[in-house]
């Protein structure tokens, strides 16, 4: 049996209860390193395999978005979580009125009136949390005016002279 997206706090009770888990699928990339906050050690300690998804962070760690225009808010991928809470309150009120009249010493009239009022109030509250992640990566390459490729004693070898002010190759 395997789990998906379980953190240690939710995986531990299953392992402690003897559920035969062999793997847990977790999101893990250079941008999302949450498994390093205890999951890697816990999995190693309990013989669980980890299957990583999202390793290229939805394409952010590839050249997919290089040179592409910034997406509009409508095009941006979002994650939403909705919570719906329904509260029902029922109130029942019963009123009984009994009237007894002695018409003669041997004849009695009894009238009973029962009124029942039921009020039901249902309140539904929906909370939606939407998370939009916009990540802008700007990749630039620095160019150095010199052609230095190796450093000798802390200075770049440039055409027979040494120069220590090259920003790209400075130690």
Query: Does the pLDDT value for residue 152 go beyond 70?
Result: no
Q: How far apart are CA 150 and CA 154, in angstroms?
A: 10
Residue with tokens 């062999």: 22
Those residues with Cβ within 8 angstroms of residue 129's Cβ, 6 or more apart along the chain or in another chain = 80, 81, 82, 83
Average pLDDT of the residues in 136-163:
45
Query: Does the pLDDT value for residue 142 go beyond 90?
Result: no
Domain range annotation of the chain: 79-130, 140-171
Could you tell me how far CA 68 lies from the centroid of its own chain?
A: 27
User: Does residue 55 contact residue 87 with C-beta atoms inside 8 Å?
Assistant: no
Query: Does the pLDDT value for residue 166 go beyond 60?
Result: no
User: Does residue 11 contact residue 24 with C-beta atoms inside 8 Å?
Assistant: yes
Q: How far apart are CA 53 and CA 29, in angstroms?
A: 8
Q: How confident is the model at residue 163 (pLDDT cuts 50, 70, 90)?
A: very low
User: Does residue 51 contact residue 30 with C-beta atoms inside 8 Å?
Assistant: no
Note the pLDDT of residue 35: 92
Note the pLDDT of residue 74: 67
Note the pLDDT of residue 55: 85
């Amino acid at each position: 049996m395997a789990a998906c997206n379980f953190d240690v706090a939710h995986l531990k009770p299953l392992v402690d209860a003897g559920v035969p888990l062999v793997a847990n699928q977790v999101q893990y990339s250079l941008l999302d390193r949450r498994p390093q906050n205890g999951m890697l050690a816990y999995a190693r300690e309990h013989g669980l395999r980890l299957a990583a998804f999202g390793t290229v962070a939805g394409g952010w760690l590839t050249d997919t978005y290089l040179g592409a225009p910034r997406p509009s808010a409508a095009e941006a991928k979002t994650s939403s979580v909705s919570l719906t809470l329904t509260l029902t309150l029922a109130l029942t009120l019963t009123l009984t009125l009994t009237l007894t009249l002695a018409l003669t010493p041997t004849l009695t009239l009894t009238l009973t009136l029962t009124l029942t009022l039921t009020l039901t109030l249902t309140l539904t509250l929906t909370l939606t949390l939407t998370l939009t992640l916009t990540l802008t990566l700007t990749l630039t390459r620095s160019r150095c005016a010199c052609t230095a490729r190796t450093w000798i004693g802390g200075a770049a070898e440039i055409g027979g002279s040494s120069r220590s002010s090259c920003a790209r190759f400075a130690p």
